[in-house]
Structure formats: structure tokens, C-alpha cells
């Protein structure tokens, strides 16, 4: 199980929500099966539908 908080802590060089989406996609490609949203990303450009967008990004994998 991959927690969003783990992703954010391990990749503190991210500057935007789009950077986060790139990292999430990479975790999915590596074989992670589940993503849990335990925190809200605190980027200035985080959209209101951030959970939906990250779910789609994680599920698409490619």
C-alpha cells in the first residue's frame, strides 16, 4: 500500500501538483497496487478534484 504522505516525504523536491502526478505515475509503473490518500497535497496549484486526478493518474500507469 502506497500512502500519499510517503510519496510527499520521499520526494520533497516536487514544486507542483503536476510534478506529483509524474511521481505517482512512476510508482504505479513500478507495480504499486494501491494508493491511499491520507493527506492533501499542499501545492499552490492543487485542484479541488485532486483525489480524482491522482486516482486517474495512478490507474492509467502508462
First to last CA, the chain: 19
| Percentage of the chain modeled with pLDDT above 70 | 97
Domain interval for residue 28: 2-60
Residue 40 is predicted with a pLDDT of 98
pLDDT < 70 stretches in the chain: 62
Count of domains for the chain = 1
41: cell is 497535497
Report, in angstroms and rounded to the nearest whole number, the Rg of the chain calculated over CA atoms.
10
Q: Give pTM, 2 decimals.
A: 0.93
Amino acid at each position: 500500500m502506497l500512502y500519499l504522505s510517503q510519496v510527499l516525504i520521499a520526494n520533497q523536491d516536487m514544486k507542483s501538483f503536476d510534478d506529483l502526478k509524474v511521481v505517482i505515475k512512476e510508482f504505479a509503473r513500478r507495480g504499486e497496487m494501491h494508493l491511499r490518500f491520507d493527506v492533501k497535497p499542499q501545492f499552490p496549484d492543487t485542484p479541488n478534484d485532486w483525489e480524482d486526478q491522482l486516482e486517474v493518474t495512478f490507474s492509467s500507469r502508462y
